[in-house]
Amino acid sequence: MQTFLHGRDLIGDLDFSKEEVETVLDVAFDLKRKRALNELTPYLRDKVLAMLFFFSSTRTRGSFEAGMAHLGGHAAFIESKTTQIAHGDTPKEIGEIYGRYFDGISIRHCDWGIGNKYLNDVAKYSRVPILNMQCDIYHPFQCLADLMTIMEKKGRDLRRKKMVVSWAYAASYQKPMSVPQSLILQMPRFGMDVVLARPPEFKLMPEIMGMAEEQAKKFGTKFEVVEDMDEAFKDADIIYAKSWGAMVHTPDPEEGAKIIKKYESWITDERKMALAKTDAIYMHPLPADRNIEVTDGVIDGPQSVVYDEAENRMHVQSAVMALTMG
């Protein structure tokens, strides 16, 4: 167990070592158990977290606010458009000033080519931990919740489990690619063989792909890329299929929308789930475009673990906050 996490930022998935991630999970499981037993966990009594949003949220805002309250502290919701941040406050000023007001700063900024840089710029000037609630490159807390959920369903020893991270069709908008990028970085460290399935235009960032290959090599796991959803699903233990945008191929949203339209058949339906193992689980960070990205029969079916996954967001976030802000 690696316990010295006080004051640490969590911006990218590899900011914490594998052993440190295991510490986070140990604390998260303990917090979940204590909540089930109605035991109090006031580890951050009188501490205050700034939650700065440049991008809308349902689960992220709710889980951070609830988690901070369970820890005995308070979370302050700050929306960029309704503050002077939209009119000129710089990352340096936010880091310097909010770092003096608050005990931690969490930020969600998903604008392509901007979000991750903003978080790192704030971190340079902040005296308190910076926590990434999602940027254009990483979504570390979602990935930690996913890992916790997989361990609950498949056990702690995940060696040789086949995890499919697949693109899926969604018509709503060009979604960030941070979820699949975090998954391919983190999951090989815990023994899983990861298959990334996506149409040719939906490549992930080359530097992230290189880092994922390094992690797979380091931890002795497989990492492969296929362009066929059916092929990927065969004999899988974990199906994680969601949409992301074609930003690496083209940053133009109109061109991206045209490309997305070509792949309406990339839906997670009952036929595709039947290609996976009979005890395979279906995962999605939500919200899903129902009957476009995934059928109701799958997301509401017995193999779906999406609500456990959503709950675990709160527990892993609380664990990281307790460890870094305490």
pTM over 0.85: yes
- Please answer whether residues 306 and 283 qualify as being in contact, where contact means their C-beta atoms are separated by less than 8 angstroms: yes
Amino acid 253: pLDDT: 84
Average pLDDT over residues 158-169: 98
Domain-embedded: residue 68 = yes
CATH of the domain at 89: 3.40.50.1370
Residue with tokens 């609500």: 307
| 247 shares its domain with 303 | yes
Q: How far apart are the first and last CA of the chain?
A: 17
How many domains, in total, are found in the chain? 2
Give the model's confidence band at 137: pLDDT under 50 very low, under 70 low, under 90 confident, else very high: very high
| 134 shares its domain with 148 | no
| 163 shares its domain with 212 | yes
Amino acid 174: pLDDT: 86
Amino acid 172: pLDDT: 67
Q: Is the pLDDT of residue 211 over 90?
A: yes
| 259 shares its domain with 159 | yes
| 161 shares its domain with 120 | no
Which range of residues forms the domain containing residue 109? Answer: 13-139+313-325
Distances in Å between the Cα of 235 and the Cα atoms of 231, 265, 303 are 9, 20, 14
pLDDT 10s digits, 41-99: 999 999 999 999 999 899 999 999 999 999 999 999 999 988 898 888 999 999 999 99
pLDDT 10s digits, 177-197: 999 999 999 999 999 999 999
Q: Is the pLDDT of residue 252 over 90?
A: no
Average pLDDT over residues 282-293: 96
Phi-psi region for residue 204, left (φ > 0), alpha (ψ -120 to 50) or beta? beta
Domain-embedded: residue 6 = no
